[in-house]
């Protein structure tokens, strides 16, 4: 006698709910980080629920997580608003990101497998293409993908979670600064970072990868801070 499989199980429902949460989170996160939802934009629950075909309950859980990440804030009587970013206000966040970058190669390091190596090589190929045809949005997408590739190098969950939260808080600063930066130069610098980290990953030296990442975050912060100071000076003079 054959036994018919059950149409649904508790595990199936939990898995489906998790998949729905992840899909919503990644989509809204990326839209905020790529400025599809600019600072100050209001995220309307009714419109989002209709777009994704979900009830407001899972949507509100996602919005709550985005708020915990610092990407949105809930305003009584108004709704969910995308937060703004400012280089001066996020100075301490950048400082913490520099320290955490080193730990990726030290805390619960994960030896790169073939899939991880292929991912980093694909990111390097994308950076080379961007160097030929610079595009700010494609650069921002590459930066986002590169960050999540780096998280594959550690199995330390607290480090992964804190690093993600701090990265997401600062990721929009660069894109907002693009009109005042040399895009080709920024792409060239980032391409060198990817190449250096790929070289370290290929030989399994994850501590070197972490140190390289730290130095590039430091230099990026210095460039953005200098650009912000110049903009402020011009505004004062004007």
- The CATH number of whichever domain residue 200 belongs to comes to 1.20.120.530
In a domain, 70, yes or no: yes
In a domain, 5, yes or no: no
DSSP-assigned beta bridge partners for residue 181: none
Most confident of 7-21, 58-72, 110-124, 219-233: 110-124
Tokens representing 231 are 């903009």
Query: Among 63, 82, 101, where does a domain finish?
Result: 82
Does 5 score more than 60 pLDDT?
no
Mean pLDDT of 158-184: 89
Mean pLDDT across the chain: 89
| Pick from 184, 174, 155: nearest CA to 219 | 174
In a domain, 173, yes or no: yes
What share of the chain has pLDDT > 70, as a percent?
92
Q: Are residues 134 and 192 in the same domain?
A: yes
Residue 93 half-sphere exposure, CB side, CA atoms within 13 Å? 19
Q: Are residues 70 and 130 in the same domain?
A: no
Tokens representing 169 are 């808080």
In a domain, 3, yes or no: no
Length of the chain: 238
In CATH, what number is assigned to the domain containing residue 44?
A: 1.10.10.10
Structural domains of the chain, count: 2
User: How many DSSP H helices and E strands does the chain contain?
Assistant: 9, 3
Does 8 score more than 60 pLDDT?
no
Q: Are residues 156 and 139 in the same domain?
A: yes
| Pick from 22, 72, 84: nearest CA to 45 | 72
Q: Which domain holds residue 139?
A: 91-237
Query: Among 29, 51, 82, where does a domain finish?
Result: 82
Q: What single DSSP character describes residue 109?
A: B
Does 10 score more than 80 pLDDT?
no
Q: pLDDT digit string (tens) for 124-153?
A: 999 999 999 999 999 999 999 999 999 999
Chain-centre distance of CA 202, in angstroms?
A: 23
Q: pLDDT digit string (tens) for 21-71?
A: 899 999 999 999 999 999 999 999 999 999 999 888 889 999 999 999 999
Asked if residues 24 and 54 have their Cβ atoms less than 8 Å apart, the reply is: yes
Q: Are residues 179 and 106 in the same domain?
A: yes
Q: Are residues 68 and 121 in the same domain?
A: no
Under DSSP, is residue 119 helix (H, G, I), strand (E, B) or coil?
A: helix
Other Cβ atoms less than 10 A from the Cβ of 143: the count is: 20
**pTM, full prediction:** 0.86
């Amino acid at each position: 006698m054959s036994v018919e499989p059950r149409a649904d199980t508790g595990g199936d429902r939990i898995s489906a709910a998790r998949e729905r949460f992840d899909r919503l989170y990644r989509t809204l996160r990326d839209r905020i980080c790529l400025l599809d939802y600019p600072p100050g934009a209001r995220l309307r629950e009714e419109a989002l629920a209709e777009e994704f075909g979900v009830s407001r309950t899972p949507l509100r859980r996602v919005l709550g997580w985005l708020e915990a990440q610092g990407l949105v804030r809930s305003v009584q009587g108004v709704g969910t608003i995308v937060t703004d970013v400012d280089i001066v206000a996020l100075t301490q966040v950048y400082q913490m990101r520099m320290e955490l970058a080193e730990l990726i190669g030290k805390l619960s390091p994960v030896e790169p497998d073939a899939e991880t190596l292929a991912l980093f090589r694909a990111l390097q190929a994308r950076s080379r293409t961007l160097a030929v045809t610079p595009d700010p949005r494609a650069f921002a997408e590459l930066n986002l993908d590169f960050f999540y590739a780096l998280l594959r190098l550690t199995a330390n969950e607290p480090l992964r979670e804190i690093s993600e939260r701090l990265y997401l808080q600062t990721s929009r600063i660069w894109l907002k600064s693009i009109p005042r930066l040399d895009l080709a130069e920024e792409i060239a610098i980032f391409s060198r970072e990817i190449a250096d980290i790929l070289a370290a990953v290929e030989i399994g030296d994850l501590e070197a990868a972490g140190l390289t990442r730290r130095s590039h975050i430091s230099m990026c912060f210095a460039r953005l801070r200098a650009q912000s100071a110049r903009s402020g000076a011009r505004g004062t003079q004007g």
